[in-house]
C-alpha cells in the first residue's frame, strides 16, 4: 500500500517535471525581458487610491543612485538592475 503511494508520487513528480520543461521551452527564461523601468528592481511604481483599492499609475521613481523622479515604466536608464521575481514581489 505504501509502495503504491510512493510510485504514484514518483509518477506525478515525473509528469510535473515534464510540464515544467515544456513551459520553459515555450516561454524561455526571463532574461530576455526589455531593460525598462517596469522590469527593474530600482523602480518604485506609484499608485493612486480609489475608494478602498489601489491602482498603478503610469508613473514612478528610481531608487538607484540619484533618485530620478517622474520615471515612466517604459523608460530606461544606466541604473537598470534585473528584477528577481519571488524576492521583489509582494
Which range of residues forms the domain containing residue 1? 1-30
| 24 and 37, same domain (yes or no) | no
Going by pLDDT thresholds of 50, 70 and 90, the confidence category of residue 68 is low
Q: Which residues contact 82 (CB under 8 A, 6 or more apart)?
A: 31, 33, 39, 40, 41
What's the confidence (pLDDT) of residue 90? 47
Residues 37 and 26 in one domain: no
Say if residue 23 is in the same domain as residue 56.
no
> What is the pLDDT, as a whole number, of residue 27?
64
- In this prediction the pTM is 0.51
Q: What is the predicted pLDDT for the residue at 12?
A: 94
Tell whether 85 and 57 lie within a shared domain: yes
69 contacts: CB under 8 Å, gap ≥ 6: 61
Task: Work out how many domains the chain is built from and give that number.
Answer: 2
The answer on 88 and 44 residing in a single domain is yes
Give yes or no for residue 15 having a pLDDT over 90: yes
88 and 52: one domain? yes
53 lies in the same domain as 86: yes
For 20-66, how does the pLDDT look when each residue is reduced to its tens digit (9 = 90+)? 888 777 666 555 667 788 888 888 889 999 999 999 988 888 888 66
Amino acid at each position: 500500500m505504501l509502495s503504491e503511494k510512493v510510485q504514484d508520487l514518483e509518477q506525478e513528480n515525473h509528469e510535473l517535471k515534464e510540464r515544467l520543461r515544456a513551459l520553459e521551452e515555450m516561454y524561455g527564461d526571463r532574461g530576455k525581458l526589455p531593460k525598462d523601468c517596469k522590469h527593474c528592481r530600482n523602480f518604485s511604481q506609484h499608485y493612486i487610491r480609489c475608494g478602498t483599492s489601489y491602482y498603478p499609475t503610469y508613473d514612478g521613481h528610481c531608487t538607484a543612485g540619484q533618485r530620478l523622479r517622474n520615471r515612466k515604466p517604459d523608460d530606461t536608464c544606466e541604473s537598470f538592475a534585473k528584477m528577481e521575481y519571488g524576492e521583489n514581489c509582494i
